[in-house]
Amino acid sequence: MQRFWLFKSEPNTFSIEDLAKSKGKKTTWEGVRNYQARNLLRDDVKRGDGVLFYHSNTDPLAIVGTAEVVKPGYPDHYAWQADHKYFDDASSPEKPVWYMVDIKLVTIFKQPVTRSMLTEHPVTAQMMVMKRGSRLSIQPVTAEEWQAVHELAGIV
């Protein structure tokens, strides 16, 4: 069964435009270093799942498009590259600690769904990302929320 997720990214680091410019419009989603998010990537995010691409720490804050999971959870090999910023010596090829997935761009919204738009819609106002102090970088999204975001983006 297809599920839905929201992936947060700071556009300074990696924006949806960067994804659009990537080879095959695909990217690896490495560097997640939080156990709760790791568990989701490792156990629950599946090929074909839908991803809402959210720009955090920017102006305007918005869901800017969607992507699709093209490769489910596999060990994050950057964790065992000593010179890499995502290096973590607790992880190794024998005992990987961190996981990553691959995603592919589906749509850049012509109308980004801003945080203020999300606030005004009864369904999207309840999304996890809207909660104060919501820091999880990989968040589950319900089918209703997925649908409501698409309506706000002008996609029916």
Partner DNA sequence: GCCAACGTTGGC
Do residues 13 and 27 touch, judged by C-beta distance below 8 A? Answer: no
Q: Give me the torsion for CA of 114, 110, 70, 52, rounded to 10°.
A: 10
Which residues 26-55 are close enough to bind DNA by CB under 7 A? 34-36
Q: Extract the tokens encoding 153.
A: 């983006």
Nearer to DNA, 21 or 135 (CB): 135
Centre a 10 Å sphere on the Cβ of residue 142 and count the other Cβ atoms it contains.
14
User: Could you give the string, one character per residue 98-127, with x where binding to DNA holds by CB under 7 A and - elsewhere?
Assistant: -----------------x------------
Q: Extract the tokens encoding 46.
A: 């599946």
Nearer to DNA, 15 or 56 (CB): 56
Residue 57 interacting with DNA (CB under 7 A):
yes
Binding site for DNA (CB under 7 A): 8, 10, 34-36, 56-57, 61, 115, 129, 131-137
